[in-house]
Structure 1
Amino acid sequence: YLTVNNTSAEESLSVREVGKRQMGRSGAIGQLTAVPVLNHLLVLWDGSVTVLNMFSLELIPALKKIQNVSLFYVSESALQTDSVELIAASTKRKTVSVYKVYVDRWECVRQVALPQEPVVLAAHGTCLC
């Protein structure tokens, strides 16, 4: 959707659809996060994180989906303009994985095994809860 400021006093903001993408035949999108610095949309759907181009909504073929994800968090640093950190939790594997996401690739930099299934995920700076 695109929002446009109008000059009319009656209607100051209008919204119009500029594109849409069907992710599959069934199932709801669990989480959607925009990463403007990379022009990516990260979509949690059907237990996987999929990356779309934020403007065309096309899949980015170089970034294969990450499977068995139940929730994720994106940490953007003001110092990093070429990547963001994606922290993904898997209830199936009982792990939390930290990925560096670039425009055309991602790299798993750390995996932590958990004693039980993760229920919620939060991060601040270098702290992960």
Structure 2
Amino acid sequence: MKKLFALIFVTLLGGCASSYHNIDLEGESALGGGFRDKKIAEGMYKIMAKTNFAPWLNYSAAHKTFNRRAKELCDGDYQILRTTESQSEHMETEGLAKYIISKVDGYVLCENTLTSKEEAKRLLKLEY
């Protein structure tokens, strides 16, 4: 019984954080987490980051993944142009605790780019 409890605890704990992997290259995670990005212009990216499923919202973990990916794409400093937070259920449950995936979508502009902030704002309008 103790082993079963420990296994359940470790599984739930593992679901609390965000798995850091590229969904487009490595596929969807069974736990729900990962990131996806798209180049909009030179030094401007759209990033989606989501957490592993958990019984509660965890936007801080989604933001951590978002910021880590932005830093990698920009090779350092960047400016966040816009972000939105959302949530979804990983799977339907019947009255039990929900399995929630917290998600952050947004746009970043790298500091070391030739794309101006004005051009980035114009491109943002085209995206919406």
Q: State the TM-score, normalizing by the size of structure 2.
A: 0.27
Higher helix share: 2
Whose RCO is larger (CA < 8 A, sep 6+)? 2
Higher strand share: 1
